[in-house]
Homo-oligomer: A and B are copies of this chain.
């Protein structure tokens, strides 16, 4: 069975998904593309012989669309996700699920009405082989339980439009989800520390910052968000267990030895670093849809990330940077 996918949002991320589904992955094809800019939709759809829509809801209603891929702006995710749920179609929604906790709750309400998990949130790091090996090692238990996790999220630079809260809701949100998944527990508190800021930033930006979080069992997580580090895109993670540690490698393929030393390359962007993880995510989603199953992060994961983001932003905006408790609703039975 070939899964017939409709894409909503023909921007860069959407086109990258079209590219991988068409040329790198098995079992699916893009049959429809929607964008509020119809020309943009057509530009993607036509070479594939797919239909183009100006309205995502029409695409969702199209009976030839088996499943929906949402790659619009975060603020309008709900507009596509909720109708897709109501139509009983699986959705792969780019992160964040919604930009507010309330939005995530509405999505969960819609899913609960249907009585079925249909939404996968695009937290692709869960599909990265390195994080997966780290999780396997933790779960094997030979090195004991986790006590701390140290994260670094470093980008070469960010444009002027990147504002301080994006360090949390756009950047650290990846570590927030990944840590919940890795440790298998909820984050209960968040705090933001402010180091000396770099002169490489735009004046208005707090950069770097450190987001410090605690889980239910007490695991202490820190996440250095440092988005003007110049030298590359560097996602680092060290899991500290009772009797050992594990850290992500650089995924480097060759080592060069020359006048700069013995060295390996640091990649430049999340596309380089997570290309395989994106592919793995979409491939596993295609296979799951074909079997009428759910895979990956669900709506509760999207909600949990949103409320941790809210707590961290509150600490960021607090003049004293105090720790803020994470307030969550009870988890609906569907997500147990």
Q: Report the bound CA distance from A265 to B283 in whole Å.
A: 26
In the complex, are the beta carbons of B218 and A287 less than 8 A apart?
no
Which residues in B have their C-beta under 8 angstroms from that of A228?
242
Q: Which A143-167 residues sit within 8 Å CB-CB of chain B?
A: 143-148, 150
Q: Is A130 an interface residue (CB 8 A)?
A: yes
Q: Contact partner of A195 among B27, B148, B194, B264, CB < 8 A? A: B148
CB-nearest residue of chain B to A232: B259
CB-nearest residue of chain B to A207: B147
Q: Report the bound CA distance from A182 to B27 in whole Å.
A: 34
| Cβ of A74 to closest chain B Cβ, rounded Å | 29
In the complex, are the beta carbons of B147 and A198 less than 8 A apart?
yes
In the complex, are the beta carbons of A147 and B208 less than 8 A apart?
yes
Q: Is A75 an interface residue (CB 8 A)?
A: no
Convert A165-204 into 0s and 1s, putting 1 for each residue whose CB lies closer than 8 angstroms to a CB of B.
0000000000000000000000000000111111110000
In the complex, are the beta carbons of B254 and A134 less than 8 A apart?
yes
Convert A222-260 into 0s and 1s, putting 1 for each residue whose CB lies closer than 8 angstroms to a CB of B.
101010111110100000101111111111111111111
Which residues in B have their C-beta under 8 angstroms from that of A258?
143, 230-231, 243-245
Interface residue count for A (Cβ, 8 Å)? 73
CB-nearest residue of chain B to A200: B242
Q: Is A261 an interface residue (CB 8 A)?
A: yes
In the complex, are the beta carbons of B196 and A146 less than 8 A apart?
yes
Q: A144-B198, A243-B200, A243-B231 are in contact. Are A262 and B287 (CB under 8 A)?
A: no
Q: Is A54 an interface residue (CB 8 A)?
A: no
| Cβ of A237 to closest chain B Cβ, rounded Å | 9
Q: Which A252-311 residues sit within 8 Å CB-CB of chain B?
A: 252-266, 276, 283, 287
Q: Is A37 an interface residue (CB 8 A)?
A: no
Which residues in B have their C-beta under 8 angstroms from that of A261?
252, 256, 260, 263-266
Q: Which of A6-14, A17-25, A80-88, A324-332 contacts B (4 or more CB under 8 A)?
A: A17-25
In the complex, are the beta carbons of A257 and B245 less than 8 A apart?
yes
Q: A146-B196, A263-B261, A266-B261 are in contact. Are A129 and B253 (CB under 8 A)?
A: yes
Q: Contact partner of A257 among B130, B196, B231, CB < 8 A? A: B231
Q: Report the bound CA distance from A63 to B334 in whole Å.
A: 51
Q: Is A137 an interface residue (CB 8 A)?
A: yes
Q: Contact partner of A256 among B24, B25, B137, B197, CB < 8 A? A: B137
Which residues in B have their C-beta under 8 angstroms from that of A3?
none
In the complex, are the beta carbons of A147 and B259 less than 8 A apart?
no
In the complex, are the beta carbons of A255 and B259 less than 8 A apart?
no
CB-nearest residue of chain B to A222: B222
